[in-house]
Amino acid sequence: MKRSHEPIFWSLFGAGGVLSALVAPILIFITGIIAPIGLWMPPQALEYSRVLGFAQHWFGKLLVLAVISLFLFHAAHRIYHGLHDIGVHAGTGTMAASYGGALLGSLAAAFLLLKIGF
Amino acid sequence: MATVKTYVRPMQGWWRRNPYFVRYMIREGSSVFLATYAIILLVGLLRLTQGEAAWDSWRAALTSPWSILFHWLALLTVSYHAWTWWKVAPKTAPDLRVGGRPLPEMLITAGGVLATLATSVLVYVIVRWM
């Protein structure tokens, strides 16, 4: 019997689900709402030198990669299976677009994190 | 060969007929917001590698009203998703037993929600003050 690749995608989906349930609301609130409007978050908090230092630290890199990659794989799994609900049937094309997109995004994040230095 | 004309029940808008399915679609739809947010962060990372001016223009772009509106919608749907995630956790988590008895479902869900709140406070404190 051909082995299923579902466990891999299910694990990434689960990991992304837990991580997004824990940190996605506060991250969206900080980077997308309170920092841009300057409420409860001073502009210095996300200034260039500080965020650069975070992205250059190995632990910062790990967190950034985990957030971007796992959010993408979690969403890819939901979108891949959810397309069926709106009448687009699951196939190689939708699979390549969803999981392939998540993989490309993850590789891009990893590449950028290496490029930014240590 | 003659085409078989089987009746196919129209499925257009099926999920709007039942509030349970509307909630299901909101939960599944939150993933589109989550993916978009991840891409926004990825673009931010790209701009960060390009220097201070690029980083500042990314931050400036996030102050546009459309961006703020998007992030409010993302916050609402993704928070709802977080709630549903902990709500089903008693069924998806490994069998947790204390003294031979399964942990009450309420406790697992409450634990998850508390974990989200604690992590949120921690992230806020770190970003703002550390």
Domain boundaries, chain B: 15-129
Interface of B with A in 74-93 (CB under 8 A): 74-75, 78-79, 81-82, 85-86, 92
- The topology under which CATH files domain B15-129 is 3 helical TM bundles of succinate and fumarate reductases (1.20.1300)
Which helix (H) or strand (E) element contains residue B108? helix B105-129
Residue A97 C-alpha, separation from nearest chain B C-alpha, in angstroms: 13
Interface of B with A in 4-33 (CB under 8 A): 11-12, 15, 25, 28-29, 31-32
Q: Which residue of B has its CA nearest to A74?
A: B31
Domain limits for position A51: 13-36+43-115
Q: What is the pLDDT along chain B (130 residues), one digit of tens a residue?
A: 677 888 888 888 888 888 999 999 999 999 999 999 999 999 999 999 999 999 999 999 999 999 999 999 999 999 999 999 999 998 888 777 888 888 888 999 999 999 999 999 999 999 998 7
Q: Three-state SS for B102?
A: strand
Q: Which phi and psi (to 5°) does residue B94 adopt?
A: -60, 155
CB contact under 8 A, A26 and B119: yes
| Dihedral over Cα of B74, B32, A4, B84: its sign | positive
Q: Which residue of B has its CA nearest to A69?
A: B38
Q: How many domains does chain A divide into? A: 1
CB contact under 8 A, B119 and A64: no
Instruction: Report if residue A71 sits inside a domain.
Output: yes
Question: Are A116 and A56 contacting, i.e. CB atoms less than 8 angstroms apart?
Answer: yes
Q: Tell me, what amino acid is at B31?
A: S
Q: Which residue of A has its CA nearest to B60?
A: A36
> Tokens 């947790």 label which residue?
B96
Strand B101-102 to B97-98 pairing: antiparallel
Both structure tokens of B114: 């508390």
Both structure tokens of B25: 């679609």
ipTM of the complex: 0.95
Which helix (H) or strand (E) element contains residue B97? strand B97-98
| Dihedral over Cα of A63, A64, A69, A72: its sign | positive
| CATH number of the domain encompassing residue A109 | 1.20.1300.10
